[in-house]
Amino acid sequence: MNTQFKQETFRDDYTYTNSAEAIRRFPFPFAEDEYMYSVNIEMHGEGTGAAGSVFEHGIDVDEHYIAECEDRRIVLDEDPDRYTALPHMMDAQWDMVELMMDSLSKDYPEHFQLQKDGDNWHWVNKPLGIDQTFVFGDEATLPMQPFEYISRQVQGDWIILDQRDDDLFADMGMVTSQADWSMAFDAGMSFKEWHGPVPQANEIGIFDRALKYLLHLQYGSPVRRLNWTMTINPRLDTSPENYPFWGPDNASVTPENVGDKVYLRVELQALFRLPRSNAIAFSVRGYLISLNELITYPRWGKRLHRVLKQLHPDLSEYKGLDNYRQTVIDFLAPLDDGADLGLGTHPE
Amino acid sequence: MSILNVKVADVEQVTDVVKHFTLVQENGEPLPHFSGGSHVVVSMNINGRIHRNPYSLMGSTANTDSYHISVRKQENSRGGSVFMHEQVKPGSRLQITYPVNLFAISKMGRRHILIAGGIGITPFMSQIADLNRLGYDYELHYAYRSPENAAFREQLEAMCGNRVHFYVESEGGRLDIPDLLSHQPLGTHVYICGPDPMVKALHINARELGWPENHVHSEEFTAPPIGDEFKVQLKQSGVELVVPGDMSMLEAMEEAGIDAPFLCRGGACGRCEQQVLECDGVIMHNDHYLSDAEKASGNSIMPCVSRAKCSRLVLDF
């Protein structure tokens, strides 16, 4: 792959845009006209997605890679607590170094290279200009904690779950681009505790089934699902900590600016069992697309119109869409001729 | 489910009834890393029928050039362990699953008491490698029948130093579990692997002494017991099948081409759980996963080890 990494921003002047290729490969999440939660889990990793799609590799690297890593750096400079690791997670830190370096160097050899001589590792990250030799398992040979070091070099948020007492605990994380939740608030919480606020899902028993499934997740067999919300402006850091900087934007949507200002935010959530620690890595990779970009494929515009029109009010409120949902529906309505779209998420 | 193709590199007779197998990956690459207490499920083709048995990984977690499992020969079994003892030689090829850990050390524990009965020592061999590496406070208590059954004693003495205690039944050695549990500091976790009565007794002792349930860990794999033939109807699949007496329900489903979920195949993990819609007789629960109340309700069954005595059993699958 010959990716041209873009220089762009996710704050202030918001210069983020998607190329035609990035729009084509956008992980549009709606296979049907109506949306409700489900345990929509499928296999992830090698051989589970089409070439060129965001599902082709375990960790997707796209044209926004350098800009997203830079946005993460800015967030961490202002608020170092977005990275958290409890002391018993050191084995999991090294598991993450291995998972990320192995994946990137195998899947994108033109950008990332890894040489191993026993525990002596040599890591080269060309896009970020990093060249590092270190001893795997020896923290002192890296400039910072191993998981912080490597998670600054990937896109998306990563939450690492320790498994004990037949439950999962959020005991480590690198979370700088979250959709209105806080790692510092959820650190140490169990699976059901941090899902407490989600409406409608507990009633239908989703969390019991999902937890049981995750406790049995196997090393070598990662899985994924898609989740979604909407964001005003292409802002990655929509954290509760920084609500004053982005919250008021929710009231800024008008019929004139809706196409440029409102973004569909799709989270590719993947889960990987980690070998040494028996922990689970939960990655939340956000993809942003403006409505104007999205409707370049009319099928997607029609589908989104129908989903938003029929969305359960509890979900609309939980996702924070109430302020501008009707404006989006009005914007999309003239594009929807009511044609049967059939099943599937494909653009055309 | 990801599968590894392995070759037997070495077979060692450890005691009269225990053999130790060294497995390497057929393609010559290192095997996947794993955490202490993990097991793999070994597939064996015995006269055209696939048997799958779980065995604990007992080598050091630091070395993944090879995996190590030990098998106790079980007489009166359906043949998996006998096959491993009599048919599997250096050079034999087997298929194993990726490691799964149902018996992990609780990393929040302040002290760890490990109790092994006989062949139940195997999961602790890899756990001890982790405990030593992490510098955790632990003790190992290992009970076995007679000096001839002292599998891995020298190795354990070398690994554990004065943290290991041996109890040899034929020499009058006796592990007093209530006494051991009664003087542990707060924050201690206990782990047991051994014969069923020993595991049950420990759970009772711990409860009577007021131990929190989540500080008591056990691992027991049950071999699918032999029983009577019975019929199963799979409602969603629209399939009816017969489970022969010497086959588990899960095996019978697989034989019929049904892609049923499973992980440990020993009644421990709960992955293969099936919902029972109808049963006009009795379900013979043999698993360690469902609670007594769940077993009594008869709404679920673990087809890897459990059977039914009835003329009609309907599953929602």
- Whether A205 has a pLDDT exceeding 90, the answer reads no
From B61, B215, B28, B205, select the one nearest B133 (Cα to Cα): B61
B225 assigned to some structural domain:
no
Q: Return the SS3 of A14.
A: coil
Nearest to B32 among A162, A216, A219 (CB): A219
B48 assigned to some structural domain:
yes
Q: What is the pTM of this model?
A: 0.90
Is A275 close to B99, i.e. CB distance below 8 A?
yes
* pLDDT, position A1: 52
User: How far away is chain B from the Cα of A197, in angstroms, using its nearest Cα?
Assistant: 26
Let me know whether B211 and B115 are in one domain: yes
Q: Return the SS3 of A112.
A: strand
From A135, A130, A94, A99, select the one nearest A117 (Cα to Cα): A135
How many CB atoms sit inside 10 A of residue B142's CB? 25
B223 assigned to some structural domain:
no
Q: Return the SS3 of B285.
A: coil
B311 assigned to some structural domain:
yes
- Whether A208 has a pLDDT exceeding 80, the answer reads no
The predicted complex's ipTM stands at: 0.85
**CATH number of the domain within which B128 lies:** 3.40.50.80
Let me know whether B163 and B64 are in one domain: no
Do B124 and B193 touch, CB atoms closer than 8 A?
Answer: yes
How far apart are the C-alpha atoms of A327 and A192, rounded to whole Å? 34
User: Exposed, middle or buried by CB within 10 Å (0-12, 13-18, 19+), for A303?
Assistant: buried
How far apart are the C-alpha atoms of B260 and B317, rounded to whole Å? 9
pLDDT tens digits along A224-279: 999 999 999 999 999 888 888 888 888 899 999 999 999 999 999 999 999 999 99
Let me know whether B123 and B209 are in one domain: yes
- Whether A42 has a pLDDT exceeding 90, the answer reads no
**CATH number of the domain within which B292 lies:** 3.10.20.30
Write out A235-254 in H/E/C secondary structure: CCCECHHHHHHHHHHHHCCC
Is B98 close to A221, i.e. CB distance below 8 A?
yes
Number of domains present in the structure of chain B: 3
* pLDDT, position B264: 87
A-chain CB neighbours of B269 within 8 Å are 216
Last residue of one domain, picked from the residues B53, B82, B101: B101
User: Exposed, middle or buried by CB within 10 Å (0-12, 13-18, 19+), for A141?
Assistant: middle
- Whether A188 has a pLDDT exceeding 80, the answer reads no
Sign of CA dihedral B217, B222, B228, B231: positive
B265 assigned to some structural domain:
yes
Q: Which residues span the domain enclosing B80?
A: 3-101
B106 assigned to some structural domain:
no
- Whether A204 has a pLDDT exceeding 90, the answer reads no
Binning pLDDT at 50, 70 and 90, where does residue A179 land?
Answer: confident
- Whether A338 has a pLDDT exceeding 60, the answer reads yes
How far apart are the C-alpha atoms of B85 and B87, rounded to whole Å? 6
B155 assigned to some structural domain:
yes
- Whether A146 has a pLDDT exceeding 80, the answer reads yes
Is B108 close to A88, i.e. CB distance below 8 A?
yes
pLDDT tens digits along A46-86: 889 999 999 999 999 999 999 999 999 999 999 999 999 99
Let me know whether B20 and B60 are in one domain: yes
B34 assigned to some structural domain:
yes
**CATH number of the domain within which B80 lies:** 2.40.30.10
Let me know whether B88 and B27 are in one domain: yes
Residues facing A161 on adjacent strands: A170, A280
User: Exposed, middle or buried by CB within 10 Å (0-12, 13-18, 19+), for B266?
Assistant: buried
In a mutational test of the B interface, the residue from A86, A93, A215, A218 whose CB has the highest number of chain B CBs within 10 Å is A218
* pLDDT, position A200: 65
pLDDT in single tens digits along all 317 residues of chain B? 689 999 999 999 999 999 999 999 999 999 999 999 999 999 998 888 888 899 999 989 988 999 999 999 987 777 789 999 999 999 999 999 999 999 999 999 999 999 999 999 999 999 999 999 999 999 999 999 999 999 999 999 999 999 999 999 999 999 999 999 999 999 999 999 999 999 999 999 999 999 999 999 999 888 888 889 999 999 999 999 999 998 999 999 999 999 998 888 888 888 899 999 999 999 999 998 888 889 999 999 999 999 999 988 999 99
